Amino acid sequence: MSSVHSYWILPNRNQRDDVLACDGGRIVPLRQILEPRLRPEGFSHGVPTELLERCGPAQSAQVVFAQRFPRWQGNRQLFVVTTPAGVDSSGRVVHLGVLFILEPHEHPSFDIPYADLPGEDQPHAQVLLRRLSSPKRGDSWAQSVRELGELARRYGPATNVALQRSAIHFHSLYEVAPGGLTRKLTARKRSLLLLLVFAVIGIGLAERACRHSPRPLVLNGAPTCRFS
């Protein structure tokens, strides 16, 4: 029997003192579902400001941010996906999220109901779920979230996209690039690339040294053998 638990984290449009969540019927403070003291370090209730700043106002609505904490409360996992969902009464961007509490072998599934969400949140929920369940070609944000869901547990706390201003370190798969995301180079690929660069520089230097040498580049001639 699956024990996947999913909850909507609602946008704080009215600048309330606490974050609200929907547990599939009731709207309750998120702290009733996930006690703040039990939230792992670096847990985010929305899209980090640095991502919104780097993407700019035109692209920021497309951002989907996800985090995975594989060893939460023993062996369980926390998986959270968030996206911008309009603005609050002061015009600040607010966020809609889905929180999954998973057993070690489980993966997040994006087939979840949203009919009980407040009316203004439903269109954002619908778009988010559609993007995540069947990512369109070129939707690197949605693709990165799916990949994060499949990531091996050994990587520890991870995010779909690299953060520069996070107070704690996360393993990440992608980084922000103009118009979307690009896959981050792995340490192995980075070493290979570095080796290649050094090899090219080495060959170039050797060739330059030979060109400036007074000795002929190639000593021509054939060995002669005398037979008596």
Partner 1 sequence: MTPLGLKTFRIFLLLASSPGIERHLTRLVKAALDWWSGKKIAVIGPTASGKDSFLARLQNREIPQVHANSAMGEKIKSFPVKLTLSNHRVIDITCKGVINIGGETDYRDAPSGWLSVCKDADVVFYIMTVSDLSGKRFIKGRRIRHDLDWLLTALPHLKSGALLHILINKIDTQIESHTDYQLLAGKLARDLAELDTTVRSVLHPYEARYTGATLISMKSKQIYTRAINIVFRAVYSAFHETAARRKAG
Positions in the binding site for partner 1 (CB under 8 A): 12, 15-19, 30-31, 36-37, 39-50, 52-53, 56-57, 60, 82, 84, 88-95, 165-168
Closer residue to partner 1 (CB): 22 or 30: 30
Buried b (16+ CB within 10 A) or exposed e, 96-127: bbbbbbbeeebebebebebeebeeebeebbee
Q: Could you tell me which residues come within 8 angstroms of residue 165 by beta carbon, excluding any fewer than 6 positions away?
A: 48, 50
Question: At residue 70, what is the residue type?
Answer: P
Q: How far is the CB of 97 from partner 1 (least distance, A)?
A: 9
Q: How far is the CB of 109 from partner 1 (least distance, A)?
A: 24
Q: How far is the CB of 199 from partner 1 (least distance, A)?
A: 37
Bridge-based pairing of strands 27-29 and 5-9 is unpaired
Q: How far is the CB of 85 from partner 1 (least distance, A)?
A: 10
Question: At residue 204, what is the residue type?
Answer: G
Closer residue to partner 1 (CB): 60 or 109: 60
Closer residue to partner 1 (CB): 43 or 155: 43
User: Which structure tokens are listed for 7?
Assistant: 């909850």
Q: CB under 8 Å, gap of 24 or more: what pairs does 13-17 form?
A: 13/86, 13/87, 13/88, 13/89, 13/94, 13/120, 14/88, 14/89, 15/88, 15/89, 15/90
Closer residue to partner 1 (CB): 91 or 221: 91
Q: How far is the CB of 130 from partner 1 (least distance, A)?
A: 23
Closer residue to partner 1 (CB): 165 or 226: 165
The answer to whether the beta carbons of residues 43 and 69 sit under 8 Å apart is yes
Closer residue to partner 1 (CB): 92 or 153: 92
Q: How far is the CB of 128 from partner 1 (least distance, A)?
A: 15
